[in-house]
Amino acid sequence: MTWLSKLKNLKSSKDDDFQLVIVIQADGVYLSDLSHPQKAPELYPIAHGNWENALKDALSNKSIKGKACIVLGTQHYQSYQIDKPQIPKEEWPVALPFLLKDLISEKFTDIVADASLMPDGQKVQAYIISKHTLQTVLDVSNAQHVTVTRVITEDEVWGHSTEAQQSFLLLRRSVNDGYKLAAYVDGAPVFLRSLRGIAAPITGQNGTPSMYDSLALDIQRSADYLTASLPQASFNHLFVCCDEDNLEELVAKLQDTVNPKINALSQPHLPCGIELCKTVAQLSSFSINLYPKHLRPKQELVTLNKVVALWVITFVAIAGLAYLEKQQTQSIQLQLTSIQNQSELLDKEKSSLQQRLASHTPTQAKLNAAKRIEQDIEAKKSSLQAVGKFDESQKVGYSGIMDALASQARNDISLQHILITSTRLDLNGVASNPKAVPSWVNQFKKELALVGRTFESLHIARDKKNVVTFELKSKAGVK
């Protein structure tokens, strides 16, 4: 990935950030302001199925405007499982309407689609909504100065509603809607079924033994089907989130007739809309967006306001530069005048000093005497340098070095030539084996006369008689 694509992705992620979560359910519109996480989501009921007015009421009552994420209920979209398109994921929103045209009754040009990859990696869960629905959401939001950055489905959210299990079943129902049974693996939806013929709420007056048996049978058949079709996943847990039902009673009556362990999704129970708001607020990434980039309004790079603003900025910049240049010119003029005055003063002082110099010009006799003194100093310096060459080692001779070499005598080393000067110590000889030479040199650190000496080369070879010879030379200048 190039730095340009990384920059685009970073910009895209910032553009998709949001401060408001809006959940459109069958019973109402739920609105959550992420800037006030301690505040519970607000419910704006839907009257006579007119969710557009409820959305308008929700947004008009908010004093804080910004970017929003829209979560659509199941009544606003359709879902299909299809083979994974063999194209880059970035191109799915453009290609999916055409790929789904044989499965839908609408024209593929009138829908918006996106998909998430299923756990098996071979299929995708595709979602479609009508462009009319999307445009209605955008029109209402824009009228209230709210910018929609993402549109997702509730199926993609429910999979993240619990972290207790990686694979689980979920029985859910919101007000004014029917019962739905879904299955999730690693947060991805793999199964969704609407349970028909069950009056809601089942724990109320509508609940009959046959109704409970029908519900339990649907759950058990679905669990068996999922276990057979997805053997790598374990669907041993069923969570329940049903509005208007007594969850304790529902769990108790179902637990004895189905195999999965049943628990309420949250304690105490939260309405489905509020549960979705809380889950979206905790998510950091999303697998779909039904408001793709190619449908978003293109920003014009050149507009009248931008041109006028650019002219104003250019005029102000030119005026500022002209003013700065004028001030700088005046400052330079003042500096030039000051320098000219100083130059006149220095010329006068120069004339005065030249006159004084003329009166202090040395005679030829003084120059000759100074030259003789300099020659005498140079001669004395040469004498001192000659004396300095005789260091302490030359005063005491080289007997210490010879004694040190003698004390380190070994049977496997034989010296044949020794060169000692004030600056060098070169040794030549023979050895019984090549390893004996480094070992012998390492013993020099034990002798005061030899310690601290640095050797610049060690040459080990064999002569014509196959005898190991060595040549050890110290660095010039090392005493």
Find the mean pLDDT for residues 122-130.
Answer: 94
- What pTM does this model have? 0.62
Average of per-residue pLDDT values in the chain? 86
> 305: helix, coil or strand?
helix
Structure tokens at 305: 């306001």
Do 147 and 55 sit in the same domain of this protein? yes
Task: Please give the Cα distance from 450 to 201 (Å, whole number).
Answer: 102
Please say which residue of 211, 245, 264 terminates a domain.
Answer: 264
Find the mean pLDDT for residues 323-346.
Answer: 91
Do 111 and 177 sit in the same domain of this protein? no
Q: Looking at 90-104, 203-217, 242-256, which range is the least confident one?
A: 203-217
Contacts 24+ apart (CB under 8 A), 123-126: 123/81, 123/82, 123/83, 123/84, 124/81, 124/82, 124/83, 124/84, 124/85, 124/92, 125/79, 125/80, 125/81, 125/155, 125/188, 125/189, 125/190, 126/79, 126/80, 126/81, 126/82, 126/96, 126/100
Do 149 and 79 sit in the same domain of this protein? yes
Report the chain's terminal Cα–Cα distance, integer Å: 62
Do 138 and 214 sit in the same domain of this protein? no
Contact 171, 202 (CB under 8 A): no
Asked if pLDDT for residue 8 goes beyond 50, the answer is no
Task: Please give the Cα distance from 331 to 322 (Å, whole number).
Answer: 14
66 C-beta neighbours (distance < 10 Å), count: 16
Residue 221: CATH number of its domain: 3.30.420.40
Asked if pLDDT for residue 4 goes beyond 80, the answer is no
No. of helices (H) and no. of strands (E), the chain: 13, 17
Residue 149 belongs to a domain: yes
pLDDT confidence of residue 204:
76
Range of the domain at 94: 13-160+271-299
Asked if pLDDT for residue 126 goes beyond 70, the answer is yes
Residue 311 belongs to a domain: no
pLDDT confidence of residue 183:
95
Task: Please give the Cα distance from 398 to 145 (Å, whole number).
Answer: 98
Contact 181, 171 (CB under 8 A): yes
- CB hemisphere CA count around 479 (13 angstroms): 10
Residue 467: CATH number of its domain: 3.30.1360
Residue 380 belongs to a domain: no
Pairing mode, if any, of strands 78-83 and 42-45? unpaired
pLDDT confidence of residue 10:
42
pLDDT confidence of residue 478:
46
Asked if pLDDT for residue 412 goes beyond 50, the answer is yes
Do 156 and 143 sit in the same domain of this protein? yes
Do 28 and 144 sit in the same domain of this protein? yes
Asked if pLDDT for residue 297 goes beyond 70, the answer is yes
Tally of structural domains, the chain: 3
pLDDT confidence of residue 123:
93
Find the mean pLDDT for residues 230-247.
Answer: 92
pLDDT, one tens digit per residue, over 166-193 is: 899 999 999 999 999 999 999 999 999 9
Residue type, 286: F
CA-to-CA dists, residue 22 to 37, 56, 59, 159, 426, angstroms = 14, 11, 9, 18, 91
pLDDT, one tens digit per residue, over 371-387 is: 888 888 888 887 777 66
Query: To 5 degrees, how large is the angle CA 39–CA 244–CA 276?
Result: 40
User: Of 460 and 393, which is predicted with more confidence?
Assistant: 460
Contact 27, 174 (CB under 8 A): yes
Do 246 and 169 sit in the same domain of this protein? yes
Q: DSSP assignment of 211-233, as one string?
A: HHHHHHHHHHHHHHHHHHH-TTS
Residue 361 belongs to a domain: no
Please say which residue of 239, 264, 289 terminates a domain.
Answer: 264
Q: Which residues of 265-286 are buried (b: 16+ CB within 10 A; e: fewer)?
A: bbeebbbbbbbbbbbbeeeeee
Residue 313 belongs to a domain: no
Do 111 and 234 sit in the same domain of this protein? no
pLDDT, one tens digit per residue, over 224-236 is: 999 999 888 889 9
Percent of the chain having pLDDT more than 70?
91
Do 108 and 178 sit in the same domain of this protein? no
pLDDT, one tens digit per residue, over 426-462 is: 888 998 888 888 888 888 877 777 777 777 888 888 8
Residue 35: CATH number of its domain: 3.30.420.380
Residue 387 belongs to a domain: no
Do 27 and 114 sit in the same domain of this protein? yes
Q: DSSP assignment of 86-153, as one string?
A: SS-GGGHHHHHHHHTTTT-SS-GGGEEEEEEE-TTSSEEEEEEEEHHHHHHHHHHHHHTT-EEEEEEE
pLDDT band for position 12 (50/70/90)? Answer: very low
Closest to 100 in 3D by CA, of 108, 109, 112: 108
Find the mean pLDDT for residues 117-138.
Answer: 93
Residue 370 belongs to a domain: no
Residue 306 belongs to a domain: no
pLDDT confidence of residue 193:
92
pLDDT band for position 397 (50/70/90)? Answer: low
pLDDT, one tens digit per residue, over 29-75 is: 999 998 888 889 999 999 988 999 999 999 987 666 789 999 999 99
pLDDT band for position 395 (50/70/90)? Answer: low
pLDDT confidence of residue 124:
94
Do 126 and 193 sit in the same domain of this protein? no
Do 45 and 146 sit in the same domain of this protein? yes
